Homo-oligomer: A and B are copies of this chain.
Amino acid sequence: MTEASAAAPTIVPVKLGDRSYDIVIGSGLIERAGREIADRTDAMRVAIVSDETVAGLHLERLTHSLNAAGVHVTPIIVAPGEKSKGFATLETVTNAILSARLERGDIVIAFGGGVIGDLAGFAAGIARRGMGFIQMPTSLLAQVDSSVGGKTGINTIHGKNLVGLFYQPQLVLADTDVLDTLSPREFRAGYAEVAKYGLIDRPDFFAWLEKNWRGIFEGGPERTEAIAVSCRSKADVVARDERETGDRALLNLGHTFGHALETATHYDSSRLVHGEAVAIGMVLAHQFSAKMNLASPDDAARVETHLRMVGLPTSIHEIPGDLPPAGRLMEYIAQDKKVARGALTFILTRGIGQSFIAKDVPASAVLSFLQEKQQR
Contact = CB atoms under 8 A, between A and B. Distances in A.
A153 B94 CA distance: 13
A90 to B, nearest CB: 8
Contacts of A125: 165
A309 interface: no
A122 B126 CA distance: 9
B129 A165 contact: yes
Interface in A127-160: 127-130, 151, 153, 156-159
Given A95-B156, A95-B157, A162 B127 contact: yes
Nearest to A128: B162
B94 A156 contact: yes
B95 A91 contact: no
Nearest to A245: B104
A99 interface: yes
A75 interface: no
Interface in A202-230: none
A98 interface: yes
Nearest to A154: B126
Contacts of A87: 87, 90-91
A267 interface: no
A79 interface: no
B126 A163 contact: yes
A165 B98 contact: no
A166 B125 CA distance: 10
Given A98-B158, A99-B158, A153 B166 contact: no
A165 B99 CA distance: 19
Interface string A77-96: 00000000001001100110
A129 B166 contact: yes
Nearest to A166: B129
A128 B163 CA distance: 5
B165 A127 contact: no
Contacts of A98: 156, 158-159, 162-163
Contact of A165 (B94, B153, B157, B165): B165
A9 interface: no
A158 B91 CA distance: 12
A164 interface: yes
A94 B159 CA distance: 13
Interface in A48-103: 87, 90-91, 94-95, 98-99
Nearest to A95: B156
23 contacts: A87-B87, A87-B91, A94-B156, A94-B163, A95-B158, A98-B159, A98-B162, A99-B158, A125-B165, A126-B126, A126-B153, A126-B164, A127-B162, A127-B163, A128-B162, A128-B163, A129-B151, A129-B163, A129-B164, A129-B165, A129-B166, A130-B165, A130-B166
Closest 8 CB pairs of A and B: A98-B158, A87-B91, A129-B164, A126-B163, A94-B163, A98-B162, A95-B156, A129-B166
